[in-house]
Amino acid sequence: MIEDWLAQNKLSAEDATLEQKLKNQYVDLASERVGGETLSCSDDFFAEMENLLKVGRGIFIEDKFTERGKWMDGWESRRSYGRNNGRDSDWCIIRLGISGVIRAFDIDTNYFRGNAPEKVSVEACVSEVQPNEDTVWQTILTATDVKAHSQNLFVLDSEKKLNNTAFTHVRLTMFPDGGIARFRVYGEAEVNWNDFVDGELIDLASIKNGAKALLVSDMFFSDKNNLIMPGRGANMGDGWETKRRRDPGPDWSIVKLAATGTVNKVIIDTCHFKGNFPDTFMLEGCISDSDDFTAGAAPVTWTEIIPSTKLYAHREHLFTKEIVVAKDQPFTHVRLSIFPDGGISRMRVFGKRQG
């Protein structure tokens, strides 16, 4: 029986490819790491709604209980059967950490084996205030079957993209009740540039401003997107770290900037990387209409922005005078190279948006 559940929990080759594609092309707009927040729910008697947006997949601790029952790493409501209120579903309202166009969902019922919902649906809205009884919701995923103890991936078809509307909130509903471990809302950030004042230096490499980590030489120990996440790294796993090279290197990461812009200030943070920080780094930039930097793609010309420069352990490094390009030279992408390898917690590229 346990073997059957484990087999069910493993993604098929097709779904594994799809999940990787979603992670590479889009951002989890709802993640707590980018400011996503659960605002309210109909019921979370057994397990708190806040768990939905945590990093990783839900875990299971066999002998862990609370005064309300079995401890579960997810959002779990009480059983609906016998309720006197006539409610046939439970819901949770989430404020997206990044407003954006929604492309897909991962509704993960990991370890919810006998207590997963039968179906789920998702609605979305655009609201400058916290949703209330007057909020107009648009259904973007109709009530759909989900599997227990599984990642349930849903890609929106062209008709459900709703003319590329940038949503601010979503409402996840499960029928009739049960538990969901994690909820991922994959999409593309939509930035309101009116929120910035004229002449302000903007972090063009921030995931919250629409930057994307496109391609890296290696991410053996941690994910490429960590490099452009908000805040400082929480620990050594919350950064971009490569395996040890046995050649001069370098390892590199290509980031698409949030907008075409200048590079006027750069921060390279090696927070928590004490025995495995790179010896030196170099930053280059280019102008490109394409995001394809794989082997065989059309070549681009990289311009040196900061030449090879020494780094130090567990330190936030600020660079302004080291920038060797003109203050008004625009770029669409940057390439961070580290010699020979190692870990960088965060990269900030401050500049002025052009156009």
- C-alpha 9/C-alpha 131 separation (Å) is 34
Q: Chain centroid to CA 177: how far?
A: 27
Please name the residues in contact with 146: beta carbons below 8 A apart, sequence gap of 6 or more.
107, 109, 116, 117, 118, 119, 120, 152
| Residue that is written with structure tokens 């599984």 in the block | 150
Give the predicted TM-score (pTM) of the model: 0.90
| Residue that is written with structure tokens 């490094």 in the block | 317
For residue 289 the two structure tokens come to 């209409």
- pLDDT tens-digit readout, 180-193: 999 999 999 999 99
Q: Which pLDDT score is estimated for 158?
A: 62
Q: Which pLDDT score is estimated for 199?
A: 87
- C-alpha 131/C-alpha 169 separation (Å) is 8
For residue 112 the two structure tokens come to 């919810």
Q: Which pLDDT score is estimated for 135?
A: 96
In DSSP notation, 200-257 reads --EETT-GGGT-EEEEES--SSS-GGGGG-SSS-SSTTSSEEPPPPSSS--EEEEEEE
Indicate the Cα dihedral angle 296, 301, 304, 310, nearest 10°: 10
Residue 141 in contact with residue 122, Cβ under 8 Å?
yes
Q: Which pLDDT score is estimated for 164?
A: 84
Question: Is residue 23 within a helix (H) or strand (E), and if so which, with residue range?
Answer: helix 13-25
Q: Which pLDDT score is estimated for 140?
A: 95
Q: Which pLDDT score is estimated for 5?
A: 45
In DSSP notation, 111-143 reads T-SSS--SEEEEEEE--SS---TTPPPEEEEEE
Q: Which pLDDT score is estimated for 84?
A: 55
**Tens digit of pLDDT at every position of the chain (355 positions):** 444 544 556 789 999 999 999 988 899 999 999 999 999 999 999 999 999 999 999 999 999 999 999 999 999 999 986 555 567 899 999 999 999 999 999 999 999 999 999 999 999 999 999 999 999 999 999 999 999 999 999 999 865 555 689 999 999 999 999 999 999 999 999 999 999 998 899 999 999 999 999 999 999 999 999 999 999 999 999 999 999 999 988 999 999 999 999 999 999 999 999 999 999 999 999 999 999 999 888 899 999 999 999 999 999 999 999 999 999 999 999 999 999 999 999 999 999 999 7
What sign does the dihedral 51-167-23-211 (CA atoms) show? Answer: negative
Nearest to 239 by CA among 216, 257, 210, 260: 216
For residue 64 the two structure tokens come to 């862990």
Residue 217 in contact with residue 295, Cβ under 8 Å?
no
- pLDDT tens-digit readout, 325-354: 999 999 999 999 999 999 999 999 999 999
Q: Which pLDDT score is estimated for 82?
A: 53
Q: φ and ψ at 5, to 5 degrees?
A: -65, -40
Q: Which pLDDT score is estimated for 295?
A: 86
Question: Residue 162, class by beta-carbon neighbours within 10 Å (0-12 exposed, 13-18 middle, 19+ buried)?
Answer: middle
